[in-house]
Amino acid sequence: MPILGYILTVLAGYLLGSIPTGFLVAEARGVDIRTVGSGNIGATNVFRYLGKPAGVFVLLVDALKGLLAVIVLSKLMAGWFYPDANLLEREWFEICAGTSAILGHNYTCWLYFKGGKGIATSAGVLAALVPGPLAIILSIWIIIFALTRYVSLASVCASFTLPFASLLTHRSLKMIIVSAVMGALAIYKHKANIKRLIAGTETRLGAKKTPATPGPTT
């Protein structure tokens, strides 16, 4: 069992995912994204306070981190440490790289282990691991968001549906469990949003906002 290979794959995946895209984009505009809106470094907060181009860029790059972790990083690490690995063993490298990239995004070491909610990065991982379930939950996300304009509610509903979507596609039990863990983590990261949704104070995307002001650089 290539234990060292798995450990280094987790570390490399974490470092790739930990790149704080939203923070860096906002910092380049003279704004500390952690001081405005929800204080989150993810695409939604960037979109709300820095505009659509910046938000879309952060969304795509965060998703790319997850995609690259699975389709590039895992293959490099498996080929290096375990060139004779079979399909099942390579799949474990993919899972290690993808899940650690999500954790890196959610708990980035560059910002005192405070990061995003992992939705875009999870989508990138799912696109490589289980594209079928991703298509299902993306459809659910679009429907909920179109009806409510709440990004958080759409994300929570999609995350809750993820393991069931994996089950419907007849994937292995391993992938169903991985999907369930990813969905649970995403819901946990939205706990503050869930409280605001219940209290009726959650902000809809497109609602009027307070303009962002330059924050202290770090």
Mean pLDDT, each 10-residue run in order, the chain (218 residues)? 86 98 97 94 96 97 98 93 82 96 98 96 97 96 97 98 91 90 98 96 78 44
Determine the distance from the C-alpha atom of residue 144 to the mean position of all C-alpha atoms in its chain, rounded to a whole number.
Answer: 19
Task: Examine residue 47 and state whether it is found in any structural domain, yes or no.
Answer: yes
Handedness of CA 141, 182, 57, 54 (dihedral sign): positive
Domain end (from 117, 152, 178) = 117
Beta carbons of 161 and 141 less than 8 angstroms apart: no
Q: Say yes or no: 141 and 108 in one domain.
A: no
Looking at residue 208, what is its pLDDT?
60
Q: Say yes or no: 138 and 80 in one domain.
A: no
Q: Say yes or no: 28 and 100 in one domain.
A: yes
Cβ neighbours of residue 159 under 8 Å, at least 6 residues apart?
A: 119, 137, 182, 183, 184, 186, 187, 190
Cα gap 131→89, rounded to integer Å: 20
Query: What pTM was computed for the model?
Result: 0.92
Q: Furthest-apart CA pair in the chain: how many Å?
A: 56
Q: How many CB atoms within 10 Å of residue 13?
A: 31
Q: Say yes or no: 10 and 99 in one domain.
A: yes
Looking at residue 209, what is its pLDDT?
56
Task: Examine residue 188 and state whether it is found in any structural domain, yes or no.
Answer: yes
Cα gap 40→34, rounded to integer Å: 6
Q: Where in the sequence is the domain holding 165, given as residue range(s)?
A: 130-205
Instruction: List Cα–Cα distances, 91 to 6, 85, 209, 214, in angstroms.
Output: 11, 10, 44, 44
Number of domains into which the chain is organized:
2
Looking at residue 131, what is its pLDDT?
95
| Structure tokens that stand for 36 in this block | 């405005």
Residue of 112, 85, 115 lying closest to 9 (CA atoms): 85
Domain end (from 91, 117, 143) = 117
Q: Say yes or no: 39 and 134 in one domain.
A: no
Q: Say yes or no: 162 and 183 in one domain.
A: yes
Task: Examine residue 166 and state whether it is found in any structural domain, yes or no.
Answer: yes
Q: Say yes or no: 158 and 70 in one domain.
A: no
Q: Say yes or no: 70 and 168 in one domain.
A: no
